[in-house]
Amino acid sequence: MSSAVLNSASVERVRDALARFGIAADIVELPGAARTAAAAAAFLGCEVAQIANSLVFRGEASGTPLLVMSSGAQRVDARRLGAIVGEAVGKADAAFVRAKTGFAIGGVAPVGHVAPLRTFVERSLAAQRGIWAAAGHPHTVFRLEYAALLRITGGLEVDAAE
């Protein structure tokens, strides 16, 4: 394992945020970037549905960043999400994601953002026993349960999958 990755500022921010919630998660460094749920699942030897994708959307009228935690086996329906938030939404670009979360795409964690984000948790994740989320770097993840994900994100449970 690379101590540089596990001790990077972004991973430390996630570790600190988890500790504030009383979670001493083992942050795992993957042997390569997990920029997709399928890649992360292959590295971890788990089901794609157990990967909690951190997807950042942007309110088209307001410019508000929206974080959606979704199962890697599902796609978020932007129209359904828009109906939930009350405005049309679009996928955020890499610069917007980094500016609003402090993380690069592929490493966006559910916690540890540079500013609070309006967060939603897709109910499809609830069916999984143990889920994996990014830990601040495209090569890092940590394991937690659905109830803990809801608690640490303060996210609203939604049905926003296609």
CA 66 → CA 22, 41, 43, 57, 107, distances in Å? 25, 24, 28, 5, 16
The percentage of the chain sitting over the pLDDT mark of 70, rounded to a whole number, equals: 97
Ordered domains of the chain (ranges, CATH) = 3-158 (3.90.960.10)
Predicted confidence (pLDDT) per residue in 62-83, tens digit = 999 999 999 999 999 999 999 9
- What is residue 35's predicted lDDT score, i.e. its pLDDT? 67
Residues 8-35: what's their mean pLDDT? 89
- What is residue 142's predicted lDDT score, i.e. its pLDDT? 96
CA 102 → CA 70, 74, 79, 155, distances in Å? 19, 25, 26, 19
Q: Is residue 1's pLDDT more than 70?
A: no
Predicted confidence (pLDDT) per residue in 82-136, tens digit = 999 999 999 999 999 999 999 998 899 999 999 999 999 999 999 998 999 999 9
